[in-house]
Structure 1
């Protein structure tokens, strides 16, 4: 059993201020996999003070110095990748192929991209007689979720460090193992004391004092919309910058063409990945109403091929992360049944033969209407809903009929049509035919948040913009 009973503050592994700890339950077995120290406001104060003390020197480092540190982090990350993968499987039930693959690889990709961008990033520019300077914002509090632990740390931490900020990280208490290992990687890479600090714990005990702290200049949060609202409230009195990547209910418009069958099958598979615990997942599949019966048959066949079981075995998906998440998903599946959606695959209860662990049946509902609960609420489990559209204008109307606006998808052979639809959808990230780009800005409209991550857009969030007027004579600028 793992025991992580110290925090990383000021370049040292230190005892927490209190003497409490919390259990981390393996969702595949429902057994305790480890104990982690639980922080409080005193620990937050110590970490913020260390970050504040380290900021002047770190913010004054050269690009070359920061690139060198990030390269050492990348080397250490590569060496510890198997440890991170094993921890991911234990703490959140990610199948070993996913944990050691995309879960770990995404963070490495973001680090490679950060190094590449930093080497050519312009921190200042002349605009006539004015100099525009981009400076690090200061001490950044990073609050990350449990569903893609390493990716969400990566898209916040690497841009923050690259642009000269110091940080305090509070990972989710449901996935604390990977964050601890990551702190070990940074320590081994020689991160200067106080530049990176780790305090484990829950939202009320650590997240609230971090968000409200007067010496924290920025909070970057990924998680539920409900929690994001509370963080914004806590941060408001200090007028700090707050960026948030929150919930989603992504539409996936499948066009009426020869690739229809493949695109329906692909949409089902994409929704089931990571046990549906992805805020940018294509949760609402929109198909031509005239082809609903065909979509149902394809979805049913595809869902039947999604195997569920022990994440250490050869299964497509493992459990959802916790008992509370299991109960949440089960309640919404039952809601779909009660509201009259057509149950195509799955349904309430655990899969056959899995009586222990938080396993959910791969579930598909069809003939869903936009007013149904399963079409409106973020389920965060392996549950897909299929809605019919009359024409493309109707498809866009359904796609935008949501309080969320994080991600959307368009699948079809007519690229001009797909491009046109993508422009009309009110979401921050629209994916045409499974595109992928580490440099693409990622973030949401509406209740899906504010600010952007990934690539150079992620860098900009951690920078203040200063205009220096009269920097040069008018004639010198011509």
Structure 2
């Protein structure tokens, strides 16, 4: 990897104009692994200016030409998959096996699905038989600021970069300062793939600096943000003065509804899904709602799964969960676990402190609380760590009400052998996605939520449309 302290602007690795240094830490060891430069206003302005200058030519490029550039990027990405896995693992603590498969694979999958969607998309189409001379044109929004988090670096980066470029937009990416190395590596790949200067730009920085400046910048036409709900609220307010488009993918507090007729692996699967990526997923099933007839045995199953869950350094070649990303995140999780104690939830497994034998690194004990009620803090707040909360229910209606008892609405889960009931419950859940019986959404499925989980959709054709304006033209023929 090239010098991590530089930004990528107008096709060049450039030193910061007004930035300051920041150390990147390995969360498994708490050791410094790189130094980046948190950019300032001048750096952000230079990146926006480059994107603005490159926009007319890139927007005018035939869609097939843009797709061809993304296909070249796909080949480079695949050739450097191991480099990407190592970068993600060391910067944010994903176990290397998970980094090689799910983390790197998510980026490749979204790039592939964007290419597929763009090839099938009619960027120019007639209005309809009622108006044969009217044409509908789908045109790029313009200069887009893409602000991404640390928990699934290439998943979120590629969900934004690929469709924005396919649509004909030019972009300024501000990755999380906690996981910048994977984004810097992607910039190298984009350069190798031969994209025109200024089409893709990367400025490292924090949310209050570069992020806030990009959000309010008059030459930025759209902000696509993934992160916390409070940050999303702040972005929406800052963007309002320039009436730019804002697409938000925010927090979640997913409910996993397990009926008594669910398959025997439903509880085990749900606990593991909650703990995956050390619980650092906005769509994690963190609230397990269990029909009372099987509640006690489900709590016991959850205890066994949690106690068998290995925790260890990210570089270990094993099926463990790694650390959480930072000392700040570790402290927040410890606070919320303590809230569970203080509010008299029943501790089933785990608890405060690091797992035995791990005295260094941001490791969290896989934790399960039972008998959690809706007035408890751990029911309400997104913990973003390997912490599962459980509660019983008696009726289908109660389960739906409990699941919807949250300001979030990203992903909910249903486990039942009764397909009619599953469909009925899915319709009653106020969330952008519902996964049933352990089946993930298909390739190109839209990702996004309702309520305070955001207002955008990413992935497939829906992700492409986020970056397109609709223009109606009469008398075309």
2: CA distance between counterparts of 1:222 and 1:201? 15
Q: 1:291 aligned to 270, 284, 294, which one?
A: 294
1: CA distance between counterparts of 2:2 and 2:408? 38
Residue aligning to 1:137: 141
Q: 2:445 aligned to 440, 464, 467, which one?
A: 440
SS of aligned partner of 1:464? strand
Residue aligning to 2:354: 350
Residue aligning to 2:173: 169
Q: Write the mapping of 1:221-232 to structure 2, written as runs, cut at 5 A.
A: 221-232=225-236
Deviations 1:309-342 (A, max 9, x none): 1111124201000000000000001101111111
Residue aligning to 1:410: 414
Q: 2:465 aligned to 427, 435, 460, which one?
A: 460
SS of aligned partner of 2:265? helix
Give RMSD over aligned pairs.
Answer: 1.2
Residue aligning to 2:321: 317
TM-score (normalizing by structure 1): 0.97
Q: 2:241 aligned to 224, 229, 237, which one?
A: 237
Whether the aligned pair in 2 keeps the contact of 1:309 and 1:315 (CA below 8 Å) is: no
Q: 1:184 aligned to 166, 188, 198, which one?
A: 188
Whether the aligned pair in 1 keeps the contact of 2:262 and 2:415 (CA below 8 Å) is: no
Q: CA deviation at 1:93?
A: 0.7
Whether the aligned pair in 2 keeps the contact of 1:2 and 1:34 (CA below 8 Å) is: no
Q: CA deviation at 1:444?
A: 1.0
Match status 1:384 vs 2:373: no
Residue aligning to 1:476: none
Residue aligning to 1:475: none
TM-score (normalizing by structure 2): 0.97
Q: 2:405 aligned to 395, 401, 406, which one?
A: 401
2: CA distance between counterparts of 1:356 and 1:192? 45
Residue aligning to 2:271: 268
Residue aligning to 1:328: 332
Residue aligning to 2:151: 147
Match status 1:368 vs 2:372: yes
Distance 1:252 1:138, change over 3 A: same
User: How many residue pairs end up in the alignment?
Assistant: 471
Q: CA deviation at 1:380?
A: 0.1
Whether the aligned pair in 2 keeps the contact of 1:95 and 1:316 (CA below 8 Å) is: yes
2: CA distance between counterparts of 1:183 and 1:346? 40
Question: Which aligned runs of 4 or more in structure 1 are off by greater than 3 angstroms?
Answer: none
Whether the aligned pair in 2 keeps the contact of 1:2 and 1:33 (CA below 8 Å) is: no
Whether the aligned pair in 1 keeps the contact of 2:19 and 2:40 (CA below 8 Å) is: no
SS of aligned partner of 1:302? helix
1: CA distance between counterparts of 2:329 and 2:3? 24
Residue aligning to 2:80: 80
